Amino acid sequence: MMSDLVSPFKAFLKQHGYQLTSERVEIAQVVSQQRRIFTTEELMAQLKEGGYRQSRGTVYSTVRLLAEAGLIVQLPQSSEAHYLTSEQASLYAVCRCRCCGAEVLYRQPRRLKALRHTTMHRYRLAQPLLIFYGLCQRCERETAKTNNKKSATQSSGLQKATSNR
């Protein structure tokens, strides 16, 4: 099911006195088709591939307005701003690698629904976004290699020290 961001975005622009332009509508249409985490730069590349010609400033300001309208969610603590549609944020959890920052969407709707239902009674949720932090497989392998090299170096140093006695 693809969300329609255009209608609520038009209403938001009108309600807040922003100008409704064809460029903003085109950007909202492309954003509504997103099924993964995206950056503004990736969005600009998709717009260009689709034959749209918006300026960098228009894309950035429209993304800001979409976030202000609550139609997309900016992921916290990203080195570069990463976004997710609000619909995706309510269906998925984000798994983020603490080492390289890679992000993956993880879908478990029943668990997320139960968690959100529980927290709604105790909190007023501002952003329905769940983020898990850990290590991706690549970084976990690299960490294991580094730890193995350190252990080997330490144990060979220990052997040299005991043989010199």
Which residues, 6+ apart, have CB-to-CB distance to 42 below 8 Å?
A: none
Residue holding tokens 């961001």? 5
136 is in an annotated binding site: yes
Beta bridge partners of 38: 83
97 is in an annotated binding site: yes
- In angstroms, the CA 142 to CA 164 distance is 33
139 is in an annotated binding site: yes
Annotated binding site: 97, 100, 136, 139
Annotated binding site for Zn(2+): 97, 100, 136, 139
